Homo-oligomer: A and B are copies of this chain.
Amino acid sequence: MSGRYQPADAFRSPRFSGIRTFMRLPYVTDMTDVDFAVVGLPFDTATSFRTGARFGPEAIRAASALLRPYNPEQDVDIFAHLSGVDAGDLQLAPGDTEGTYALAEEGLGTLIDAGVFPVVLGGDHAITLAELRAHSARHGPLALVHLDAHGDTWHEYFGQRFYHGTTFRRAVEEGVIDPAASVQAGMRGSLYSPSDIGDARDMGFTVLSTLELLDLGPAAYGDLVRERVGDRPAYLTFDVDFCDPAYTPGTGTPEVGGPTSAQAQAFVRALTGLNLVGCDVVEVSPSYDSPGQPTALLAANIAWEIISLHALARARGAGS
């Protein structure tokens, strides 16, 4: 039986029409009968180079109009298993990272408490700490599954402890993730020193550079993650700078030498069998995107792949 909330029918209203919601889902804020909710968190105060990720949710929603409900690679029809909505944007306080954290934790908590799987569209990577806090407050320490060109485990930035480059160091310090159950993959590019990655390993993370990840391949990567994560509650965070700037030029700190969009899809598709409790796709900065908006399109597709993982999990579970 299909879910209550589904995308608008593209053969009744064309995909370029209507208020822009993610995947043309109904804009609904009452979480009754909702399995997953897409929400934006347009916060970008905490970026270190190019900014503008506050317009990320708008751009991802616009590009997501191209998404259809059936995922052929995973052989899953999302809305046969799930009811999904776009719940708009979480409240935030621009210019105030910790104020935004408080608002986002509260907003997200409401969704989680309603049993909804939240799919968050960033915003810069600082926002993930708020999400990790909200989820771990309910599930305990999380296993982090992290795809990104940067480990984001720096110490601080101009006296600020919270910005998009310190998120996962803070998350370990706060105990909201368990590094021993966590895998960071995709790291590449110039570093300040070897400790940029060494520190993460010392904290207990499994860290794979882009080259190591590509050598491993999607299937082995999936196995490695499942081995590390086990049945812990897991959180998947995808920074679009994981891909090469040829694929995702519209982001704040691009690093050349990255994976393709097809590789990004394959690594995400490999993450079946986890107990995902939440996820985000972050760092889309539309004013740096190319005219065809490929970065936003990639981000929309990655969110859709994660929703497909959730649908698969539901399909393989006790029914729905």
Contact = CB atoms under 8 A, between A and B. Distances in A.
A66 interface: yes
List the number of copies, as a whole number: 6
The CB with the most chain B CB atoms within 10 A, among A159, A160, A190, A255, is that of: A190
Interface stretch (A167-175, A176-184, A229-237, A243-251): A243-251
A190 B71 contact: yes
Interface string A62-99: 10011111111101010000000010110111111101
Contacts of A44: 51
A246 B261 contact: yes
Q: Is the contact region of chain A dominated by helix, strand, or loop, or is it mixed?
A: loop
A302 to B, nearest CB: 9
A292 B288 CA distance: 5
Interface in A94-117: 94-97, 99
Interface in A1-17: 10-17
Interface in A240-289: 244-247, 249-251, 253-258, 260-262, 265, 287-289
A314 to B, nearest CB: 18
A319 interface: no
A32 interface: no
A48 interface: yes
Interface of A: 10-21, 27, 40, 42, 44-46, 48-52, 54-55, 57-58, 61-62, 65-73, 75, 77, 86, 88-89, 91-97, 99, 157-160, 163, 188-194, 196-197, 209-211, 244-247, 249-251, 253-258, 260-262, 265, 287-292, 294, 297-298, 301, 304
